[in-house]
Amino acid sequence: MDEKKLKVPPLPSHWPYPPRAPAPAPERRIQVPLPGLPGLWTLEAVPGLDLSPAAAGLGQAFGRGGVLRAGDVVLRPYRRGGLVRHVNAGIYWDRARFAQESQVHRALWAAGLPTVEPLGWAWRPRLWGCEGVFLTRFAQGLPWPRAWDRPEVLPRLRVLLEALCAWGLWAPDLNATNVLVDPAGDLLTLDWDRARWSPDPDLPARYRGRLLRSLRKLGAPREIIEQV
């Protein structure tokens, strides 16, 4: 089946980032082996993607584990959180969730938002549903919890969150571990799983609450928590 195409709203009039050229349209390849992962997959990814390098664990990654790097490609298997992960770690009813993240991420990339480059996604049947993997370009940087001493992060993150709120995008996984700080102090954001455009007028408070929960859980310095 074809995945439902999201309707992307127009950018706000005061969007702070210069747009990029859109990522190339994905092409479908079937029966593709993915480095470091079992089985054969259906791949929806940019043309010419090189998946020949061997894979190794991405040691700096936070979250639920299993993130791999193969050359300049990062592979993030979809993993469930909460108590349900003990019963069903990574099987989904269908592939709609993977396709939605791809569409949102591609829209954010084209809009110029500071994020890693989206390369595509892959899926394979598994038991009663399917498993999925999201692919991005590797980018140099430290997760924010390993760069608490960088004072430029919060002002830049504030601009980014204000831009997302103005565009009406809610990203429930945008927490401190999904913010990378590159060597120049610029930000790159990761993981747009379950992100969607929403009419909710209280997005600033929701983002603030989500960020504060992650900062407290990670033991962020008190001054960062107070500024948020």
Let me know: does 163 contact 152? Beta carbons within 8 Å. Answer: no
* pLDDT tens for each residue of 52-104: 999 999 876 676 568 999 999 999 999 886 555 545 668 999 999 999 999 99
- Longest CA–CA span in the chain (Å) reads 51
Our CA dihedral for 129, 135, 141, 146, rounded to 10 degrees, sits at 10
pLDDT for residue 1: 42
Predicted TM-score (pTM) of the model is: 0.93
pLDDT for residue 58: 86
- Which residues touch 24 (CB under 8 Å, ≥6 apart)? 46, 47
The enclosing H or E element of 97 equals helix 96-110
pLDDT for residue 60: 67
As given in the structure block, the two tokens for residue 97 are 């969730």
Neighbouring-strand partners of residue 27: 45
pLDDT for residue 82: 56
pLDDT for residue 86: 43
pLDDT for residue 64: 55
Q: Which residues of the chain have pLDDT under 70?
A: 1-3, 60-61, 63-65, 81-89
Strand order in the sheet with 27-33: 27-33, 40-45, 118-126, 129-137, 73-77, 68-70, 55-57
pLDDT for residue 59: 73
Q: Running DSSP on this structure, what letter comes out for residue 125?
A: E
Residue 102, phi then psi, degrees to nearest 5? -60, -45
pLDDT for residue 65: 65
Let me know: does 142 contact 124? Beta carbons within 8 Å. Answer: no
Neighbouring-strand partners of residue 43: 29, 122
Let me know: does 96 contact 104? Beta carbons within 8 Å. Answer: no
Distance CA 8, CA 104 (A): 8
